[in-house]
Amino acid sequence: MSHSAFYYVDGVLYAEGVSAASLAEQFGTPLYVYSRDALTRAYHAYADACAGRRATVHVAVKANSNLAVLNVFARMGAGFDIVSSGELARVLAAGGKAENTVFSGVGKSAAEMREALEAGVKCFNVESIPELHALNEVAKSLGKKAPVSLRVNPDVDAKTHPYISTGLKSNKFGVAFKDARATYAQAREMANLDVIGIDCHIGSQITEISPYLDALDKLLELVEQIEADGMSIRHVDVGGGLGITYDDETPPDIGEFVKTLLDHIEKRGHGQREVYFEPGRSLVGNAGVLLTRIEFLKPGEEKNFAIVDAAMNDLARPAMYEAFHRIVPVVKRDEKAHKYDVVGPVCESGDWLGRDRELAIAPGDLLAICSAGAYGFVMSSNYNTRPRAAEIMVDGERARLVREREEVTQLFAGESILPD
């Protein structure tokens, strides 16, 4: 299995101390199952490596925004990284603090800026000159100064999927590297901005350290130029993006990754600055699985299909990125395996969860889609008027329902038909 919180005992899959089959029985399928222990261990890998250094961890809420998941992190003292005022509301509802929250994102509205300023967020990661002007105006209207860092695009290839690469010249994110110094000079002139940091985020599912070091070198060189211009940069935000094992990837150990970056910053003579890490996938990805039940096995001339009750609306990543998730039986069978495409009931050819998988299965069997804790439920939709899945948190031998399954009537409760 992809994470040690999920393991087999006598051919039966367990989530911590609870059998996955019993969870499906109790709560139905499709079902997202998270391990508190896995979340805790992943967070500690970051936090322990930051201990005694000028470094803080900000959990990227977009990867998994369930309140119980966020609350597990908040209890351990985590900061948060948000990209909308909706995510800010979730952080606060989950026990997180605004003053430990960084507001990222390329398209913040004036209303969102106002909410975040009133809540007192730690910093705005600003991505363009128009955004600087807008934030300055909103801060002025509230009689406040907005703490700002600029997201600089270092034009480093993180060698990842084009949809999740964010640090290239052609991406929509950040201020172009060649324009960054002049943009800082403009920000300095705005009376209601307090320029305190620099930020970069080069992409997602990165499985080697070298692109980070390349980006850091460019960033620190820029910091020296900005400070020569008379500004003081208090923190360096290295973003998130560390990958996980979905199949056979070998990402660096989290602790080693953190230590390597912090050592590099110190070696370059920048040890006095605070460093922000913004992990998402590497905290939650392998802390979750999606359980689904096989409805039908459909043999075909070219392909055999295992049609399950989860679909692209429940887990969008395969349809969207052709992403690979391991798919394993919840109860192993001794029979011969056959090759199947695992597909859902949604009326789209793109509705598949796994292709050409060797599985020994029968109708009614349960499957676990691994590594589904990141960008799983958060990207799910109600396409085909399908209620979204329930979410469960397993804590030792206890399982708690942390989000109820939606009811169909909830899906159109806000709609109305025309009067006669």
Q: In this structure, are 243 and 156 located in the same domain?
A: yes
Asked whether residue 6 carries a pLDDT value surpassing 70, the answer given is: yes
> Is 174 annotated as contributing to ligand binding?
no
Residue 73 lies in a domain: no
Q: What is the pTM of this model?
A: 0.95
> Is 321 annotated as contributing to ligand binding?
yes
Single residue among 277, 305, 336 that ends a domain in this structure: 277
Give the total number of structural domains in the chain. Answer: 2
Q: What is the tens place of the pLDDT at every residue in 232-249?
A: 999 999 999 999 999 999
Catalytic positions are 347
Q: In this structure, are 268 and 307 located in the same domain?
A: no
Q: What is the tens place of the pLDDT at every residue in 298-357?
A: 998 899 999 999 999 999 999 999 999 999 999 999 999 999 999 999 999 999 999 999
Residue 95 lies in a domain: no
Least confident range of 1-10, 48-57, 210-219? 1-10
Tell me if 284 sits within 8 A of 64, measured CB to CB. Answer: yes
Q: In this structure, are 265 and 322 located in the same domain?
A: no
What CATH number corresponds to the domain at position 122?
3.20.20.10
Tell me if 81 sits within 8 A of 60, measured CB to CB. Answer: yes
Residue 305 lies in a domain: yes
Residue 34: its pLDDT value, please? 98
List Cβ neighbours of 217 (8 Å cut-off, separation of 6 or more). Answer: 268
Q: In this structure, are 340 and 271 located in the same domain?
A: no
Asked whether residue 163 carries a pLDDT value surpassing 50, the answer given is: no
- Looking at per-residue pLDDT, the higher value among 126 and 171 belongs to 126
Query: CA–CA separation, 63 vs 375, rounded Å?
Result: 5
> Is 41 annotated as contributing to ligand binding?
no
Asked whether residue 190 carries a pLDDT value surpassing 50, the answer given is: yes
Asked whether residue 394 carries a pLDDT value surpassing 60, the answer given is: yes
Single residue among 277, 301, 321 that ends a domain in this structure: 277
E strand or H helix that includes residue 112:
helix 110-119
What CATH number corresponds to the domain at position 398?
2.40.37.10
List Cβ neighbours of 122 (8 Å cut-off, separation of 6 or more). Answer: 79, 98, 99, 100, 101, 102, 147
Residue 63 lies in a domain: no
Residue 154: its pLDDT value, please? 85
Average pLDDT for the chain? 95
Q: In this structure, are 144 and 271 located in the same domain?
A: yes
Residue 99 lies in a domain: no
Q: In this structure, are 119 and 249 located in the same domain?
A: yes
Q: What is the tens place of the pLDDT at every residue in 296-308?
A: 999 988 999 999 9
Using the structure block, give the residue that is written with the tokens 């005992």: 9
Tell me if 70 sits within 8 A of 59, measured CB to CB. Answer: yes
> Is 32 annotated as contributing to ligand binding?
no
Single residue among 241, 261, 277 that ends a domain in this structure: 277
Q: In this structure, are 302 and 264 located in the same domain?
A: no
Query: CA–CA separation, 61 vs 101, rounded Å?
Result: 10
Q: In this structure, are 233 and 154 located in the same domain?
A: yes
Residue 227 lies in a domain: yes
Residue 41 lies in a domain: no
Residue 155: its pLDDT value, please? 79
Structural domain that includes position 368: 6-35+285-411
Specify the pairing of strand 327-329 against strand 304-308.
Answer: unpaired
Least confident range of 58-72, 112-126, 171-185? 171-185
List Cβ neighbours of 382 (8 Å cut-off, separation of 6 or more). Answer: 313, 388, 406, 411
Residue 158: its pLDDT value, please? 67
Query: CA–CA separation, 176 vs 189, rounded Å?
Result: 20
Q: In this structure, are 223 and 291 located in the same domain?
A: no
DSSP string for residues in 117-176 = HHHT-SEEEE-SHHHHHHHHHHHHHHT--EEEEEEEE------S-TTTB-SSTTSSSSEE
Dihedral sign for Cα atoms in the order 167, 171, 173, 177: positive
Asked whether residue 262 carries a pLDDT value surpassing 80, the answer given is: yes
> Is 383 annotated as contributing to ligand binding?
no
Tell me if 51 sits within 8 A of 363, measured CB to CB. Answer: no
Query: CA–CA separation, 176 vs 198, rounded Å?
Result: 13
Query: CA–CA separation, 81 vs 237, rounded Å?
Result: 11
> Is 151 annotated as contributing to ligand binding?
no
Residue 419 lies in a domain: no
Q: In this structure, are 291 and 231 located in the same domain?
A: no
Q: In this structure, are 169 and 266 located in the same domain?
A: yes
Share of the chain above pLDDT 90, in %: 92
> Is 280 annotated as contributing to ligand binding?
yes
DSSP state of 209: S
CB count within 10 Å of CB 362 equals 11
| 167 confidence band (pLDDT: 50, 70, 90) | very low
Q: In this structure, are 259 and 364 located in the same domain?
A: no
